[in-house]
Amino acid sequence: MVSFDAEHVKKMKEQEPNAFNQFYLQTVDMFFRYINANYFIVKQDAEDIISDFYVKFWEAVKSYKEDQSFTAYFRTIFKNTIKDFFKKNSDTPFTELQTNDEWEQFEDTLVDEMDLTKLLEDDFRFDQIEKAMKRLDDVSKDIIYFRFIEEKTNEEIALITWFSNEIIRQRLSRAIKQLKKLLEQQ
């Protein structure tokens, strides 16, 4: 898990190149994994997005307020950079980034997390999982990525996304159920 102490963040705010380099080295692989797991775009486009992010972050970090979550702060900049990329590139469907705000009752969508693990370990090939993930809304992709790729707890995901623990639990259950259904349809 990537984390930065207050002193390191302070150095980045003061535009110290070494602090920024450390941030880059600790985050670049995470950002590539995130893009590859969620958007399935060519490597050059992923590199362009990440490059744009670091340029934007370099400027934006000067105005970071210490009362905010630093992880949520830089992830928000990163997500906005991804959205900007898709807006600029009309050949890539932006609708994949939009979220569906229809809420269902938690009790109606509860699925055991082990169902997803078993499902992913079954006979499904990686390309089937990729296709199914592309059909999920952006929030669901993020939550599944954080939970199963970065192995974060619901509480950690709530801090990153600014949703409550209950909403994370609800969205995770719904995303698992939806992913399972999409995979069964293939």
Confidence of residue 118 (pLDDT cuts 50, 70, 90): low
Confidence of residue 99 (pLDDT cuts 50, 70, 90): very low
User: How far apart, in whole angstroms, are the C-alpha atoms of residue 70 and residue 3?
Assistant: 9
Q: Which of 182, 107, 184, 175 is nearest to 147 (CA)?
A: 175
Query: In terms of domains, do 10 and 68 share one?
Result: yes
Sign of the C-alpha dihedral computed for residues 37, 18, 81 and 143 taken in this order: positive
Query: In terms of domains, do 153 and 75 share one?
Result: no
Query: In terms of domains, do 22 and 85 share one?
Result: yes
Residue 115 belongs to some domain of the structure: yes
Inform me whether the pLDDT recorded for 105 exceeds 50. no
Mean pLDDT (the chain, rounded):
78
Please report, for residues 60, 61, 116, 128, 146, the alpha-carbon distance to residue 133 in angstroms, rounded to integers and kept in the order given: 31, 31, 13, 9, 14
User: How far apart, in whole angstroms, are the C-alpha atoms of residue 136 and residue 117?
Assistant: 17
Domain of residue 87 covers: 6-92
pLDDT given at position 121:
52
How far the first Cα of the chain sits from its last, in Å, is: 33
Tokens linked to 73: 């702060």
Q: Which of 186, 185, 183 is nearest to 119 (CA)?
A: 183
Q: Which of 168, 165, 169, 163 is nearest to 72 (CA)?
A: 163
Residue 78 belongs to some domain of the structure: yes
Inform me whether the pLDDT recorded for 59 exceeds 50. yes
How confident is the model over 96-118, as a mean pLDDT? 44
Tell me, what CATH number does 168's domain have? 1.10.10.10
How confident is the model over 161-170, as a mean pLDDT? 86
Residue range 27-58, pLDDT digits in tens = 888 888 888 877 778 888 889 999 999 999 99
Residue 1 belongs to some domain of the structure: no
Please tell me whether residue 28 adopts helix, strand or coil conformation: helix
pLDDT given at position 112:
47
Tell me, what CATH number does 88's domain have? 1.10.1740.10
Query: Do 13 and 61 form a contact (C-beta atoms < 8 A)?
Result: yes
Query: In terms of domains, do 118 and 66 share one?
Result: no
